Chain A
Amino acid sequence: MKVVLSLALWFVTLSGLMAGESSSDLSKGSERFYSSELDLQVEIGADEHFMAINTLQHWNVRLMRLDGSPVTIKALTFDGGMPAHRHGLPTTPQTNVLGAAAQVRGIRFSMPGVWRLTLDMLTEGANVTLGLDVDLRYGQPPEFQSADFKSEGLIEL
């Protein structure tokens, strides 16, 4: 019995160590979301702390056609919250746009669980909204559970 317990402890410890190493606490990271219907992709990413829990982070947002050609974002709004906890974002992120690149600065995910995020991107001729559901857990990469695109108007190249 002791042998079984020790082996179990070894296994748990080893996998614990491995799981620890795959955590994204301090890491640079990014994620892409695609809509074939709208011929669009959105890339969100950060140089550090991407999707980390309880750490202030700044995102770069890029809007592109599926072939990678950039689509200019004229204005960007970012909002969100945790539906299960009935609260909004714990900070007031600030957005700014520079041609094809946009930034959302001052995001914090104050607790593990499912966050619902909305990016509203105003482009030439259309308003594109990306809605994301992401589940954050300690020691695990973020799990993007859903991404939905909405668009009003036609995007001009």
Chain B
Amino acid sequence: MQSDQSNSIHWLLASIIFLLLILLAGLKLILPAPISGESEVATWSPEEVALLRSLSLQRDGELPSFEGRTNEYEGSAAAASFGHQLFFDTDLSRTGATSCASCHQPDKAFTDGLAHPATHVQTAPRNTPTLIGAGSSPWQFWDGRSDSLWSQALEALESPLDHGLSRSDLVSVVSMKYRPEYEALFGELPAPDDSAAVDRAFTNVGKAIGAYVAMLKPAPAKFDRYVASLSSSETPDEPAELLTKTEIAGLKLFISEDKGQCISCHNGPLFTNNEFKSINVPDFSGADSGRLVGAKQVLRNPFNCLGNYSAAEKESCDELLYIKKDDPELYATFKVPTLRNLSLTAPYMHSGIFLSLADVLRYYNHPLQRANDHLDIVPLGMFPHELQQLEAFLMTLDSGVDIAPEWLRPPNKRRVAMIEY
């Protein structure tokens, strides 16, 4: 038989625990178990809908594309097909073992799953960026030192850190293996000792590769289908297309002005404004000046928009004509990467320091502020469950490439080296 006193103590304890639970739930420190599979019909203000549309791949809209400005072969199926073959050909390297696809692997969203390629032995090696949607950025490389896909390919082909192939050797490989494809597009292959003609052939090869890479555009993701359903005249009736409660919570956090201000930089349909920003990665040694040097390099690059190999009228090279340069703000800044296909593009950041998205978000919650260094992010100020919601939302941006699958594999046709006597 319990005494009255111990009974009322039990009730008191129970009430206190009950009230505490309500308080914690109210503060969102604990939540009723989320039924994360349940679809959600959230309400958005008109301003939020406009913002969501600006972030999504619109069915009637086109992604910005910069390759065609300087590459007259962009959009040519024959050039893209030739570029497709070149992309997977390991003979386009000094060792005969490296193709574009060695680091830009289609099944990893055209990255390699490494912090940086093994061949990157320089002081400040850099992570392999995705090629999906790369054609929508005016700048290539983490420091933007190329202003087109074709000029990026040319640097990779020549660089001892990547393919290490000389221009004349490249012309030899093409002469042996791809003479019909090359000559159908570009005319006669040059003699190896005619260096001006070799330069021109070198550029042509780059442009064929650029024509292929420009085709690698992101397919609509779960997020895009959700935004399209907001604008359609029918109420969505397929729960599989809607975002879950957790994903919507993450989306609301992503666009929130109070927490993190993500869309300051991660805006537009590719979730990047292609600007150069600093997040003060923890492993920064001071050896990599990023855009401060990259801006100088792109202006000096003979294969840039203003150069002799570019198809563009000089007056139309807006990005170079108005480029921000020689500004201390640019020191140690790097290109804002796309947030599409993140599940396949780990590790993250220019040095590949973060192995998982959870690591990235944890860092963004408490970024390093070094004295005198410009920091372009604000602490997210999120609770652990909010970081999980944000990560869940980011996963809704996965989609792969909007292209027929054969473009994502080496072509079937195998060319046998033709030895000329």
Residues of A at the B interface (CB closer than 8 Å) are 5-6, 8-10, 12-13, 15-20, 23, 53-54, 56, 85-94, 105-106, 108, 110-113, 137-140
Contact = CB atoms under 8 A, between A and B. Distances in A.
> Lowest 3 CB-CB distances: which A-B pairs, in order?
A139-B50, A106-B322, A16-B49
B53 interface: yes
Contact of B50 (A16, A87, A108): A16
A92 B273 CA distance: 17
A105 B321 CA distance: 9
A32 to B, nearest CB: 25
Nearest to A19: B46
Contact of A13 (B230, B267, B324): B230
Nearest to A18: B46
B274 to A, nearest CB: 8
B267 A111 contact: yes
Interface in B186-245: 230-233, 235
Nearest to B55: A138
Contacts of A17: 231
Nearest to A54: B273
Nearest to B266: A111
Given A94-B322, A106-B321, 7 more contacts: A9-B41, A13-B49, A16-B46, A16-B50, A16-B231, A54-B267, A140-B47
Instruction: Classify the interface of chain A: helix, strand, loop or mixed.
Output: mixed
Contact of A12 (B45, B54, B264, B268): B45
A30 B45 CA distance: 27
A137 B265 CA distance: 14
Contacts of A105: 321-322
Contact of B318 (A5, A6, A106, A111): A106
Contacts of B324: 89-92
Contacts of B235: 6, 9-10
Interface residues of B, number: 34
B91 interface: no
B264 A85 contact: yes
Contacts of A93: 322
B169 interface: no
A46 B51 CA distance: 23
13 contacts: A8-B43, A10-B235, A12-B230, A15-B46, A16-B230, A20-B53, A87-B376, A89-B324, A94-B322, A110-B265, A111-B267, A138-B54, A139-B51
A94 B47 contact: no
Contacts of B322: 56, 91-94, 105-106, 108
Contacts of A12: 43-46, 49, 230
A19 B230 CA distance: 13
B406 interface: no
Contacts of A20: 49-50, 53, 231
Interface in B305-326: 318-319, 321-325
A128 B43 CA distance: 47
Contacts of A16: 44, 46, 49-50, 53, 230-231
B329 interface: yes
Nearest to B325: A92
A89 to B, nearest CB: 7
A19 B43 contact: no
B263 interface: yes
